[in-house]
């Protein structure tokens, strides 16, 4: 079932979808899906408590990221 006002974003293997956590979204999972979704939001204390720091890029990965400033304030616990 699709949401009538929704939008389907086609993704290919290795694609990365970044969207606001402030919107309602639903992924179409299964079907051998090889893409990742990242929810981006303002770093409020209510949301930061849910971060799994092991999933964030480490210092050596930062050099390969176009916008490392997004992660830099989150790299320490």
- Report the C-alpha gap between 53 and 72 in whole angstroms: 12
For the segment 8-56, what is each residue's pLDDT rounded down to a tens digit? 777 777 777 776 666 555 555 566 666 566 666 777 888 788 888 888 8
pLDDT score at 38: 66
What's the whole-model pTM score? 0.45
- Report the C-alpha gap between 8 and 70 in whole angstroms: 26
Nearest one of 52, 53, 51, 57 to 70, comparing CA atoms: 57
Confidence of residue 2 (pLDDT cuts 50, 70, 90): low
Domain boundaries, the chain: 1-41, 43-77
pLDDT score at 32: 67
């Amino acid at each position: 079932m699709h949401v009538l006002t929704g939008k389907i974003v086609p993704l290919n293997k290795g694609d990365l979808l970044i969207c606001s956590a402030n919107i309602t979204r639903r992924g179409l999972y299964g079907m051998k899906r090889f893409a990742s979704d990242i929810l981006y939001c303002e770093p409020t204390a209510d949301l930061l408590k849910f971060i799994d720091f092991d999933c964030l890029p480490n210092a050596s990965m930062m050099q390969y990221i176009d916008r490392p400033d997004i992660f830099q304030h989150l790299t320490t616990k």
